[in-house]
Chains A and B, each alone.
Chain A
């Protein structure tokens, strides 16, 4: 699925964002990526969707080795991933359903295929009734659901979520986390970066903690001796 092997990532300014990161996310698994801001969570995700390439080591995503991807292959990889951000990244001049349909349109999907899929995923995230609403007419939690629907519409094998609850209040946070759990229950792997430890504790999933670019704790590996954390 997703496999990091001795990955180092240095940015041009010389900062080392990741040091010797090795982990494996299995098919259908749910994992949290935790750590303070700047610990390297977003970098891990960026390496997965090939926005950045590792300086050293290997990142394998669903059979692709990202460093060996040609520019043409990157879009193909991304169509197999769902990506969600803290700031939703919706197009403000399009309705919820148009935002979701957009992800299918750019893949060249036919019109007849798009509509039923859009309706299905909007229903899945509980927003079927607000399909015609524009982002500014929706609450933060609802906007994030639209973003999640957009991420799901291409049937990704993994959903990457970068602080998806960072801009949400407690209630909306619970709703979004529950939605991610439901999505995971239907077979999609989820890798969620968050610094919200309450969310992590409540969910009881695998947790990978980063500090200054290095993995300091992985519940799947350290089980037993690290039981008390985080």
Chain B
């Protein structure tokens, strides 16, 4: 083990240029993967913000006794899809309208009687904020006697659904493509190291080194390179994040655990790629 580690580290010292080259390629490959991860992460956060605004509004028939509404509210609150039910009284609706619709302030001020109905605003739990569930809940709400009208942005929710599906599919595909590209790049750089050390491997074979003994330092080397490349990639991503955050918009960065996962992913890629190319190439030497 110690010998293998020494051999692996020695190869960095013996071929600094090649090592730097492979670490750089791994770093950039992972940088792109990470960048995409960041985009996906921020898109996800943004979508969640939008999703939270998925809301169903039940307009309450004028003159409905408040007791009937409160009973209904606890019934609605018991729906598995429902996160919260808020009662907005007629007065509150008017106050809000005055506050938010400033251009009509004059009209609202001069009203003799409040024309706005009371309403229930219903928000759904995460996972139920898609067109299908929203519609199902809305249908159920229409069943209440006091429901004058039930509204939700149907088209809008459907568009959100599509956006979510596209983001998910594109994310998965591009992520996989870049991961595959990383494996190929790392495999190639490891193969270059193997070929560069072909003479050494031949000699190791002649003096009776086992396959495992010959391969282990390369696997270690690949894993170390993957780890360093992953760490560099996280650094590059952070730099990119800082630039974007200071110029375009305030986004989110990986949590420490996610950053460690990127490094771990680099290690795994390094290990897989070196195992694949070392196995194939040492056999011929």
- A interface residues, Cβ below 8 angstroms from B: 49, 71-72, 75-79, 83, 89, 91, 93, 102-103, 105-108, 150, 154
A contact residues around B3 at 8 Å (CB):
105
Q: Are A49 and B206 in contact (CB under 8 A)?
A: yes
By a beta-carbon cutoff of 8 Å, the part of chain B in contact with chain A is 3, 14, 199-200, 202-211, 213
Complex contacts, B14 vs chain A, CB 8 Å: 93
Min CB distance A111 to B, Å, is 9
B207 touches A103 (CB 8 A): yes
Residues of A contacting B: mostly = loop
Main secondary structure of the interface of B (DSSP, over half): helix
Nearest CB in chain A: distance from B51 CB, A: 58
28 contacts between A and B (CB under 8 A): A49-B206, A71-B211, A72-B210, A72-B211, A75-B205, A75-B209, A75-B210, A75-B211, A77-B208, A78-B205, A78-B206, A78-B208, A83-B206, A83-B207, A89-B199, A89-B202, A89-B206, A91-B200, A93-B14, A102-B204, A102-B207, A103-B208, A105-B3, A106-B204, A106-B209, A107-B209, A150-B207, A154-B207
Docked complex Cα distance between A93 and B213 (Å):
20
Q: How far is the CB of A44 from chain B (nearest CB, A)?
A: 16
Count contacts between A and B, CB distance < 8 Å: 45
B203 & A89 in contact (Cβ 8 Å cutoff)? yes
In whole angstroms, what is the CA distance A93 to B16 when docked? 14
Chain B residues with CB under 8 Å of A72's CB are: 210-211
Write out the residue numbers on chain B whose beta carbons fall within 8 Å of the beta carbon of A150.
207
By beta carbon, the residue of chain A nearest B206 is A83
Contact B213 A108 (CB under 8 A): yes
Residues of A contacting B200 with CB < 8 Å? 91
Residue of A nearest to B3 (CB): A105
Task: Other than A91-B203, A106-B213, give 15 A-B pairs with Cβ distance below 8 A.
Answer: A49-B206, A71-B211, A72-B211, A75-B209, A75-B210, A89-B202, A89-B206, A91-B200, A102-B203, A105-B3, A106-B209, A107-B207, A108-B213, A150-B207, A154-B207
Select from chain A the residue with minimum beta-carbon distance to B207: A103
Give Cα A76–Cα B213 distance, bound, in whole angstroms.
Answer: 13
Give the complex CA separation of A77 and B14 in angstroms: 31
